[in-house]
Amino acid sequence: MQPFTYDALPGRVVFGPGTARARLADEVSRLGASRLLLITTPRAAALARELGAPLGGRVAGVCTGVREHVPAEVAEAARQQAAGTGADALLSIGGGSATGTAKAVALTTGLPVIAVPTTYAGSEVTPVWGLTEGDRKTTGTDPRVLPRVVLYDPDLTVSLPAGLTAASGLNALAHCAEAFWAPDRNPVTALAAAEGLRALAQALPLAVKDGADLAARGDLLYGAYLAGTAFGVAGAGLHHKICHVLGGRYGLPHAQTHAIVLPYVLAFNLPGAPDAAARISQALDDAGLDPANPAAAVQALAARLGLPAGLRDIGLREDQIGEAAGLIEPAVPADNPVPAGAAELRTLLHAAWAGTPVPSLAGRVPDDAAVQAAREEAVTAEVLASFAGAAPPRYREVAQSLVRNLHSFAREIRLTQDEWQFGIDFLTRAGHITNDRRQEFILLSDVLGMSMLTIGINAPAAAGATESTVVGPFFVAGAPETPLGGDIANGAQGRPCYVSGTVTDTAGNPIAGARIDIWQSDEDGFYDVQYPDGRTAARGWLRTGPDGGYRFWSVHPAPYPIPDDGPVGDLLKAAGRGPMRPAHLHFKVDVPGYRPLVTHIFVAGDPYLDRDAVFGVKESLIVEFTEHPPGPAPEGRVLAGPWSRVAFDMVLAPAADQAP
C-alpha cells in the first residue's frame, strides 16, 4: 500500500426518484435557509418554478441567466441579484452550468449551495469552480463552493435527450478514468472511480435506448455522483487539461469534447498505468463490455451511443491543433503515466480530430520506450516511497540511495532474470562459505574495491598522517600482548624480521602508550587462522614506549593468495585477475585523541605490488626490508641464519579530523 493523504469532502446527498419534489423543502429547512436565490437556465425555468413552489415565500429571487462555461458577466449579474434579494442560500437546478453559476456566487459570498443536478456533470460534489472571461477559462478550488446538499432525482433527467445523455454520461466516465492517474488520486478515489465507471458503462446504453428507463437513469446519477467525488479529490489530469483548452479556447461543447477525447487519452496513458488499465478493464467487463482494450471499448461505446467520432465534427479546425498542443503542454501534470510533450499531444489531438479508431493509434502513441521507462521508474518510485518514513534520517538516506543506485544499475545493464538469480546464488554461496574464521563478504568488499573506497572516504587526507589501507579478513580480536622488543612469531615459520619505528602526531611529537596490533602471514603465505589447529602465531599487540617508539621481532612476510576456493575466487578467475597480495604486515594503531589507523607496510620489490587483488597498495606504505647476515641482532639476540629488518614511523591524525 502506497502512503497517501486524503482530504475527504463533506456533503450530504439525497438519492431517489421523486426526491426533488418530495424532499427539497425539508432540505432547505435543514439548512436553515429562508431567502433562496434560485439559479437555473431559461430551459429549466418552468421546472424550477414547479420545484420551488413548495418552498413558498422562501424563494427570494430567480436567476435564469445561466450560460455554458459560466461567463464572468453572468456570474457578476447573479452575484448582484444575490445581494439585491438578500439571499442566504443558493439553489441551483440544472446541469453543470447552473451549478457552476451558483458556485461563482458562493465563491465571493460564501453562501451555501443546494444543488439539484439534471445532468451527469458531477460538478455538484466538487469544490472546483470555473469562470470564463472572453476565451479564457479560469478554474480553481475552494471549499466554500462545494454544495452542502445535493438532491439526485432521476425523474429530472428523463427529459435529457439521447445525445446529451450520451455525452454527459461519457463526461462522467472520463472523470472516473482520470481519477486513476490525476495528481491527488488515492485508493479511495480509485475505488469510487471503478464503481462509477461500471455503473455508467452499464446504464448508458439502456438510458440512451429508453430515456424513460428510471432504473438506468438512477444508475447514471449514481455513477455521476461517484465520478464527481473521485474527480473532486483526485483533480484534473491529462484528459481534463486537454478538454479545458478545447472548451475554453475553441468553444467546443463540454460533454461532447470529453466523450470524443477520452478514448485517445486512454490509449495514450493506459500502457503506462497498468493498474488503472486492469481496473478499468475489470469495470468494463462487469458492465458487459469488451475488457480487452479499454480505449477501444470506450470508443465503441461512444459510437454505439451515437456520439460524433472526431473533434472536427464539433467544430475544431485542423490548423488549430498545433496551437492547442502548445497550450496544453505546460498544464500536463508532471506525473502523467506517459510523458506528454507537444509532439505527442499533436499526434493525439490529430487522431482525436480525425476520429481515427484507437486500436490503430495504440501502436503509435505512446512510444514503447517511453512506456517502458515510465513503468520502470514507477517501481523505483514505489520502493523509494516505502522508505520515506524510515528512521533515523541517516538510515532513510542510506536505504533510499541504495535502492536508487541498485535500480539504476539493473536498468543500465538491462539485468536479466537469470543474471539476477546468478547474483543471488553468488551471495548465497558467499554466505554458506563464511564462518568465524572465513569471511567471504570482506573478501568480496576487498576485491570490488569497496573496502579501499570506504577507507578513502572515512580517512580523509590529513597532512603528514600515515595513509590507511584495508583491514582484510584476518584480523581477530584477543591476540596476545607482547612486551616492547618481544617476539610475536610464536612459532610461525620464516626468516626472523625485526620491526621498529615511532608513533608521533602530525607535529612530530611522540605518542606514548599507543596500542599497536600487528598480524601477518608466515613464509608460506598463511595466517594462523588458516591452519586448522587453532594456533595463534604471527599476531600480537604492544604499546609504544614513553618516546613513542615500538619494536618487536616477527617473521619476514610472504606474498599470498587471498582464499580463492569460494565465489570470490570465481569472480577473480572470470576477470583474469590473480588472487595474490604482495607481502605485507598489518598494523592497527589506537590511542585516545587520535584517529585510529589501520594500515600495512609492503615489502619493497615484491612482484605483486602492482596487482594487489584488493587494491590496498599505496606508494607511501612500500618500505625497504634490509637483509642481514647471521650473527648479533637487536634485543641481545645472536642469530644462526640471515634475518631482515624494517623501520616504519607512523603519524596519527588528531581525532578532531575524524569523519562523523
- The reply on whether position 128 binds ligand NAD by CB under 6 A is yes
Residue with cell 602530525: 506
Q: Is the Cβ of residue 45 or residue 383 nearer to ligand NAD in the bound state?
A: 45
Q: Does 68 bind ligand NAD (CB under 6 A)?
A: yes
In the complex with ligand NAD, which residue's Cβ is closer, 118 or 599?
118
User: Rounded to whole angstroms, how far apart are CA atoms 148 and 31?
Assistant: 8
Amino acid in position 179: A
Task: Give 192 or 653: the residue with its C-beta nearer to ligand NAD.
Answer: 192
Rounded Cα distance, 18 and 34, in Å: 23
Task: Please give the backbone phi and psi of residue 537, each rounded to the nearest 5 degrees, phi first.
Answer: -150, 150
Find the farthest-apart pair of alpha carbons in the chain and give their distance in angstroms, rounded.
127
In whole angstroms, give the CA distance from residue 404 to residue 322: 38
Q: Is 126 in the site for ligand NAD (CB under 6 A)?
A: yes
| Identity of the residue, 149 or 164, whose beta carbon is nearer to ligand NAD in the bound complex | 164
- All three cell numbers of 543, joined, read 604499546
Among 19, 81, 92, 168, binds ligand NAD (CB under 6 A): 168
Alpha carbons 193 and 228: distance in angstroms, whole number? 9
For ligand NAD, the closer CB: 9 or 373: 9
* Residue whose CB is less far from ligand NAD, 126 or 269: 126
- Give the binding range for ligand NAD (CB under 6 A) out of 114-122, 291-299, 457-465, 540-548: 114-122
Q: Considering beta carbons, is residue 94 or 112 the nearer one to ligand NAD?
A: 94
Grid coordinates belonging to 266: 486512454
CA distance 446 to 580: 12
Q: In the bound complex, what is the minimum distance in angstroms from residue 457's beta carbon to ligand NAD? A: 54
Which residue's CB is nearer to ligand NAD, number 245 or number 558?
245
H/E element, 428: helix 417-433
CB of 208 to ligand NAD, least distance (A): 14
Whether the Cβ atoms of residue 642 and residue 455 lie closer than 8 Å to each other: no
Choose which of 19, 40, 101, 123 interacts with ligand NAD (CB under 6 A): 123
Q: Cell 613464509 sits at which residue?
A: 523
In the three-class reduction of DSSP (H, G, I as helix; E, B as strand; rest coil), residue 38 is classed as: strand
Interface pick for ligand NAD out of 17, 52, 112, 122 (rule CB under 6 A): 122
The cell for 254 is 463540454
Which is nearest to 492 in space by CA: 542, 527, 517, 516?
527
Q: Which of 40, 101, 119, 202 is the binder for ligand NAD (CB under 6 A)?
A: 119
User: In this chain, which of 254, 350, 539, 584 binds ligand NAD, going by CB under 6 A?
Assistant: 254
Instruction: Provide DSSP, 300-312.
Output: HHHHHTT--SSGG
CA 123 from chain centre, in angstroms, equals 31
Q: How far is the CB of 118 from ligand NAD (least distance, A)?
A: 3
Nearer to ligand NAD, 99 or 554 (CB): 99
Q: Quick one: 127 or 355, whose CB is closer to ligand NAD? A: 127
Q: Which CB, 69 or 239, lies closer to ligand NAD? A: 69
Shortest spacing between CB 55 and ligand NAD, in angstroms? 20
The string of DSSP codes covering 147-216 is -SEEEE-GGGGTTS-HHHHHHHHHHHHHHHHHTTTSTT--HHHHHHHHHHHHHHHHHHHHHHH-TT-HHH
**Shortest distance, CB of residue 202 to ligand NAD, whole angstroms?**
20
Integer Cα distance of 342 and 348 in angstroms: 10
Amino acid (one-letter) located at 516? I
Q: Which of 90, 121, 220, 224 binds ligand NAD (CB under 6 A)?
A: 121
Instruction: Say if residue 431 is exposed, middle or buried (CB neighbours under 10 Å; 0-12, 13-18, 19+).
Output: exposed
Residue 186 engages ligand NAD in binding (rule: CB under 6 A): no
Distance (Å) of CA 73 to CA 76, 132, 144, 234, 288: 5, 9, 21, 30, 45
Looking at 100, 112, 218, 272, which residue binds ligand NAD (CB under 6 A)?
100
Per CB under 6 A, the segment of 85-93, 123-131, 487-495, 562-570 that binds ligand NAD is 123-131
Instruction: Give 91's strand partners.
Output: 38, 114
Q: Is 257 in the site for ligand NAD (CB under 6 A)?
A: no
| 228 vs 579 by CB, closer to ligand NAD | 228
User: Shortest approach of ligand NAD to residue 155 CB, angstroms?
Assistant: 10
Residue 520 φ/ψ, nearest 5 degrees: -165, 175
Closest CA to 163 of 118, 208, 112, 106: 208
Within 10 Å of residue 46's Cβ, how many Cβ atoms?
A: 10
Residue closer to ligand NAD by CB (options 123, 293) is 123
Verify binding: residue 97, ligand NAD, rule CB under 6 A.
yes
For ligand NAD, the nearest residue by Cβ is 96
From the list 3-11, 120-128, 194-202, 547-555, the region that binds ligand NAD by CB under 6 A is 120-128
Find the binding residues for ligand NAD in span 137-166 (CB under 6 A).
Answer: 156-157, 159-160, 164
Size of the site for ligand NAD (CB under 6 A): 26
* Rg (the chain; Cα; Å): 40
Q: Cα–Cα distance between 458 and 78 in angstroms, integer? A: 71
Is 337 among the residues that bind ligand NAD (CB under 6 A)? no
Nearer to ligand NAD, 36 or 156 (CB): 156
Q: Which is nearer to ligand NAD, 234 or 338 (CB)?
A: 234
- SS3 for 262-279, per residue? HHHHHHHHHHHCHHHHHH
Give min distance, CB of 79 to ligand NAD, in A: 17
> Does 237 contact ligand NAD by CB under 6 A?
no
Q: Which residues pair with 598 in a beta bridge?
A: 588
| Nearest distance in Å: CB 93, ligand NAD | 9
The least CB distance from residue 152 to ligand NAD, in Å, is: 12
Between residue 24 and residue 63, which ones bind ligand NAD under the rule CB under 6 A?
41, 43
Q: Which of residues 77-96 bind ligand NAD (CB under 6 A)?
A: 94-96
Pick one of 245, 255, 529, 580: the residue that binds ligand NAD (CB under 6 A).
255
Residue 585 contacts residue 539 (beta carbons within 8 Å): no
Which residues form the interface with ligand NAD (CB under 6 A)? 41, 43, 68-69, 94-98, 100, 118-119, 121-123, 126, 128, 130, 156-157, 159-160, 164, 168, 254-255
